[in-house]
Structure 1
Amino acid sequence: MAISAVSDTTLHEAPPPRRQRLLEDERWLAFVLLVPTIVLLGMFIAYPFIQGILLSVTSSRVGMRGDFVGLANFYKIFNDGIFRTAVYNTFLYTGVTTVFKLALGLWLAMLLNRNFRGKAFTRAFILLPFIIPTVLSTFAWKWMFDPTFSVLNWLLYHLGLITGRINWLGDPDLAMISIIIVNIWRGVPFFAISLLAGLQTISPELNEAAAIDGAKPWQRFWHITWPLLLPVTMVVMLFSVIQTFADFQIVYVMTGGGPANATHLFATYAYQIGIGTGLLSEGAAISLAMFPVLFLVVVIQLLYIRRVEVR
């Protein structure tokens, strides 16, 4: 009789509430957890991006809504010599800095991966350029490149390498080299720490086995370390290219796009046109002009990362 009573109770047990059933469904639970992220992305990324597109096809100015003009703004900036200079500078700036940050970051990561006294302090010290606020550190660099109070000029003069002052930020070529140096200085710690994390995942036994077989250090690096580190390297380079391509703070603080608009990048020129002169529609068009190029670069890198991981 007891067994029969328990069976009847189990058969007639009330089903769980509908809300509980929905939460137990992984699809609905995933959607609920993603809602805050979707809202934030919509507010701070999707909405400004759509507004930028709408502005770029109008004649809007500060305080004026403007009329629809189609692709006239894009046609105007493509015939602008300063815009072409900004395009060239952006690719040069991104390419040179990425190569040097990768080379120096990999070198530092290999050094920090060794066992030595004060290793933890050294790793923390390496991160300082990346931790310090960009504007603050850039102002320090601007003082170092100042033609009158430059510590670099003082050092080079006392070493006998120069006989007069060098106007680092007043010469177009030297100004470009200066902002590239600052970007490399700031970006190397990110590469070093990220690649160091990748090196930590590589088993030392692989290098030890290769050393026993007679492989030289550069052979062990090229055939063991580098292939295993390549997926991490590509991800780090992807983030670096995105950040460098849209860089604004370093150039704006150091040169403001000068001298004579010679160091403008996409972001600084868009700011100068959109905010400095009040031509919001043209500034939006300049900002959007870098989107297809950056999107193509990101897609190519992602496909290459996928290929490396599968291989």
Structure 2
Amino acid sequence: MRFADAAGTVRVGLRDADDGIRELDGVHRVADLLRLPLRQLRERVEQAPKAATHRRPDVTLLPPVDGHTEVWASGVTYERSREARGEESDSGDLYDHVYTATRPELFFKAVSWRVVTHGEPIAIRADSELDVPEPELAVVSNAYGEIVGYAVCNDVSSRSIEGENALYLPQAKVYAGSCALATEITPAWQVGALDDQWVRMSVRRRGMRPFDGEVPLAALRRGPAELVDYLFRGQPFPEGAVLATGTGIVPGMDFTLMAGDTVEIEITEVGTLSNPVVRGVEPMSWLSEARERPAARHPAAPESGPAASRGT
């Protein structure tokens, strides 16, 4: 995990279940860890101090990506996602082909500084009429294309913009507030069989829950290793990459996110992620200043749930 201490210095450490944080000596960025082969990365993580060096109430948790690490995403990797794309678009056969094709759909999602984390706002576009959260397992890969960890991702999307024309996908998917990652990366060696894990999501609105859903990771048509392999075929990632693996939870066409909602996501054995929803660009303007000044993050991430306290 990344965090800023009381002086604003950004550090990297391991979070313990009791809210203690063990700083990794000599590691200044998560990107530095992702430059290492998996064996060396694991050794470096396991060399952390045995006793906590910081306490969670005294620090600001930051998104677990930095440097030149990029976030990418996969599309139409669950049957429900294929159905949903057909519901919103006149080009349903296009999504059917992507679902069954050998080559997966991969697209760029965010540079590291535009990623938000637990407790910080996600956004819906002001020029969109139909918007949804997309809860996804994120795979963290090092520079060698090895899977080193997992995280919880919310790939917030405009269904109306993508449905209008599939070529508008970048505008539907890539904008300020569209990408959230939980504060922790759970090391791959701490997670059991992925087919045994579940993704769950709830949307809270004025004391109600207008949407709840869950899906087993066993329903994922393409395995994480296959998706990472295709991602690394076309370009190098010298400081690693985060790849969201697609969503199997999509509300019906009668649901849209609204400003003031809160989206809560859990992936068993990986973590939790909760974000309030805002609308438009202005409420996300703090991201630019937060590139250099962690104290500008708005708001500071609150306490994470117990399921989010498993790893780096």
If each structure's strand is expressed as a fraction of its own residues, which one has the higher value?
2
Could you state the TM-score of these two structures normalised by the residue count of structure 1? Answer: 0.23
Could you state the TM-score of these two structures normalised by the residue count of structure 2? Answer: 0.23
If each structure's helix is expressed as a fraction of its own residues, which one has the higher value?
1
Point out the structure with max Rg over C-alpha.
1
